[in-house]
Copies of this chain bind each other. A is one copy, B any other.
Amino acid sequence: MSVVEQARRARGAAEDLAVATRTVKDAALHAMADALVARTPEILTANAADLAAGREAGLSAAVLDRLALDEGRVAGIGDALRQMAALPDPVGEVVRGATLPNGLELRQIRVPFGVVGIIYEGRPNVTVDAAGICLKSGNAALLRGSSSAAHSNAALVAVLRDAVAGAGLPADAVQLLDASTRDSVKELMRARGLVDVLIPRGGASLIRTVVEESTVPVIETGVGNCHVYVDAAADLAKAVALTLNSKTQRLSTCNTAESLLVHAGVADAFLPAVLTAFADAGVTVHGDARVAAYSDAVVPATEEDFDTEYLSADISVAVVDSLDAAVAHIRRHGTGHTEAIVTDSQPAAREFVARVDAAAVMVNASTRFTDGGEFGFGAEIGISTQKLHARGPMGLPELTSTKYVVTGDGHLR
């Protein structure tokens, strides 16, 4: 079936989803979870086919592990759906309202987008997560996953569709696109009018392609060149721990710190301690000349290093002469994801928060906190690094639009 035909079916399903009550949608989420558990054997059979193909294709052990499902993982994926069911329904929320001077009653109400396209490279659990988040927010989902997970995704979506239909909602609320060809991505990007929004999740090049070529509105996610700035007034023990946590708590996430800026006034006291901590943690430091003076282990940093999202045990480090210089450095190299300051100075914190333009600004907190789960959203479809519509972690409300409803009594203008 063509992507356009799938999108048309999604559009039809979206009409029913838009008016489905929370009770019905939550029942569908529970039915999806139940079905995943009940039909685990067929899911694992499909997954075994992906794993065998992956081993043959020479995928790394880490990639194979991310791809692998077992009974426990499938149960965990189901639990995530049950947790979504427990979240409030964003649809129907009255965002604002007023009675106008002429007596017209004005309400702005949350409504679903309609059809959401998601392009991702991740683990099979993303397939279920995305389907669940879209369904809960009243949207039909067009899922374009990785070809390496094609069998697993097909099995998962077959199970989900049956459960959705069994719960009285249209099966076409959840559809998987052909992952064997790039054409499905291209068709999806040109399906303006049928698809309301496209969310690319994955590497920088995928996101750039979608942003540049899509005529469907896009929510950009993910690229993070996050900085920790250790201010002149920082508590240095806290600063060492926070820097290490931001860099090493998980290496491959978009909210991982990739760059450290140190105020010159505390360089002598702070850099030896943090360089030792990095060395102990196996982190390679790419430092400017002033950093290199503190340790032979420092690799000289190029300008390119300061623009790099390593996603590995590497960090770029520079000494700056002022908070202003730190802000200027972040403006030049940051990606608008997460920027952190470590300081005990209230004026410095206020200045940094005001002048740094990013989805999240942390004061004395690890960059790793920029996350829907940590923010208490309960579900997350990605982290937006653009300014339009949604910025930062996107939960259920970010998957909705609004509609004005105006009620009168024959009012004329």
Question: Contact residues of A with B, CB < 8 Å?
Answer: 15, 18-19, 98, 100-101, 104, 106, 108, 111, 113-114, 192, 196-197, 211-212, 215, 217-219, 235, 238, 241-242, 245, 249, 331, 342, 349, 353-355, 357-366, 368-370, 374-376, 386-389, 391-393, 401-413
Contact = CB atoms under 8 A, between A and B. Distances in A.
Given A355-B19, A370-B404, A404-B360, A104 B389 contact: no
Nearest to A245: B412
Contact of A389 (B357, B358, B389, B408): B389
Copies of this polypeptide in the complex: 2
A331 B194 CA distance: 12
Contacts of A358: 403
Contact of A410 (B100, B197, B238, B375): B238
A325 to B, nearest CB: 15
Given A388-B388, A402-B391, A411 B359 contact: no
A387 B114 contact: yes
Nearest to A244: B412
Contacts of A375: 100, 106, 404
Contacts of A106: 375-376
Contacts of A404: 359-361, 370, 375, 391-393
A403 B364 contact: no
B403 A391 contact: yes
A242 B412 CA distance: 6
Given A217-B386, A238-B410, A363 B114 contact: no
Nearest to A113: B387
9 contacts: A15-B331, A192-B211, A211-B215, A217-B217, A217-B386, A357-B403, A361-B406, A365-B410, A375-B404
